Chain A
């Protein structure tokens, strides 16, 4: 019995983690308890040293002073303030009027605004609710097909997951040991391509099924000519300014993503104040939601770190690696299996759980196979985006249902989402075979080198070459890269380096 336990410790821990999680108690505590329980078992069996748990406070400390994770409250806060600032409503109204008289124009307006909101608020629920309340009734009034109308709204809302500054990309970067800036740059082109695919689908529908997406009569416009143009321009200014303030400064290498998030959140506050939408109640609510979201996200990570302490201690990562490197088809085989796995898991797990539990197990394997981790992260992010729209559990569908008029049946929403889920799967396929879509946006050589992970982290993303030396934040200069590294992932990399050397 004991021998069986010792020989199969990693699979046993893994299986019991699945059971612990399925119990339905909060993920973070279940994960941590699993790690601690098997840590004791491992120490009893002599598999692990008795000093195992001494590393635990260090693990937590490593999460606390992680500059990347600090971006989570910033971007969440920014999104929550912005979603209530009235920006989305203005955009939908104006762009809808502009494109409306075109066949399929309203649907195109939804996609366009969806992409703009994705680059600013980054909250799927908020985009879907705004579009569901503002654009959906207009589309229905002028005879749009219900399936098309609801599908395009749900899908455009999920763009927030893949277009920077999305939270998924931040967490993915943290878990894969890459810089957030690079992850953003890598995701930019795929996000745009995906948007283009949505547009392509609507254009095809407008050509071949014109009755599904009729043009609005010109009388539907309340503004015309010069006035409309002026309105369009003035409505576009605030979001474009914010996009520059946040993404522009990050892409140009002037600001770190964390700084970009802080400035974006402050910008959102100023904008909401200027539009007289900021009340004490709204502010408190946004802070409350931000604090709770930050807490539960970071706690999943705390749980995952405690779990990995034990799991890596018994060489669980090697077990996973053996399991996955043995797949037929090498790199492509691995990517296909992983994507199918993540696609299926996304039915049950949300992206926080996937990124903290599944991604750290897959990352080292991908690296061992020589897969660019930015490419890998973006690929998984596009895949996880699907989980927001596949029926019947997709969150975007759920939020759309909650605001859609009763004349739109739930089955309309489900069927409407299917073409977009297919587009999503096609996109994953394209990304697997054309990694250039991701790597094109990265300026430096991204060839994966085991050492580069540690060297890149402090420098690449702060754009050292672009700014005068004096402008550099002092912290980057002072903190050695190893400080920000998670001890275990470092150990894994060291182990792999040794393996490679052999």
Chain B
């Protein structure tokens, strides 16, 4: 179990690092989007490459972000029933969900999307739009993203089992980092204090 927990913290570290990197794509895609729009009106210049890079980046955000969001436990749940159960029962629900929902689904998508990437690579697939980009890299995002989701799923599974055995802390316990809403409230209060 201890070596599994070590593996889990390795995976967590990788996921965090990827997450911390991909959030910058939000800024990049915003600036490209705005730049493209402004150029289109002002100097009447636009290129399909600019439009396509936006959805490439968008895809990278949510595909690479899937494992990160899972680690932060921020995928939306309906906690109508689960919210009233004990932490241990919730850990059991997660173990059940990871084994029967998340892993089969993510592995299936990974398995099904890989040949499509290979085909695109083999044919050196290009965008059908004039001046567009190469397509195979974006096809590769799908299997990679779902692979990251699968390994993070394993890590979460290990942490839930570890928690039930009392070998690691509750993985879903709220971290002490304030939520964006709390940060906003603090900022306004601070501002009022200065006035």
Binding site for B on A (CB under 8 A): 20-30, 32-33, 36-37, 53-54, 56-57, 60-61, 64-67, 69-70, 73-74, 77, 80, 83-84, 86, 89, 125-126, 129-130, 133-134, 254-255, 258-263, 265-266, 269, 283-292, 294-296, 298-300, 303, 306, 348-350, 352-353, 399, 402-403, 470-471, 473-475, 478-479
Contacts and interface: CB of A to CB of B under 8 A. Distances in A.
22 contacts: A23-B81, A23-B97, A26-B76, A29-B97, A29-B106, A32-B105, A53-B108, A61-B139, A129-B188, A133-B192, A259-B36, A261-B33, A263-B37, A290-B23, A294-B65, A296-B74, A296-B76, A299-B62, A470-B44, A475-B48, A475-B51, A478-B129
Given A70-B54, A263-B38, A478-B129, A130 B65 contact: no
B78 A24 contact: yes
A288 B37 CA distance: 24
Interface string B66-103: 10111010111111111101000010011011001110
Contacts of A37: 104
Interface residues of B, number: 82
Given A23-B81, A255-B41, A295-B62, 16 more contacts: A24-B80, A25-B94, A30-B101, A32-B105, A64-B63, A70-B54, A261-B33, A265-B30, A266-B31, A266-B34, A287-B27, A289-B180, A292-B74, A294-B58, A294-B65, A474-B130
Contact of B185 (A56, A129, A294): A129
B3 interface: no
A290 B26 contact: yes
Given A27-B78, A470-B44, A292 B26 contact: no
Contact of A254 (B30, B41, B105): B41
User: Which one of B48, B66, B101, B128 has the highest number of Cβ atoms from chain A below 10 Å of its Cβ?
Assistant: B101
Nearest to B80: A348
Nearest to B59: A64
A73 B69 CA distance: 15
Contact of A471 (B19, B40, B62): B40
Interface stretch (B7-15, B109-117, B163-171): B109-117
A261 B33 CA distance: 9
Given A32-B105, A53-B112, A69-B58, A27 B23 contact: no
Contacts of A26: 70, 75-77, 97, 102
Contact of A473 (B51, B180, B185, B189): B51
B30 to A, nearest CB: 5
A29 B101 contact: yes
A21 to B, nearest CB: 5
A474 B69 CA distance: 34
Contacts of A53: 108, 112
Contact of A295 (B61, B96, B180, B189): B61
A57 B59 CA distance: 13
A29 B26 contact: no
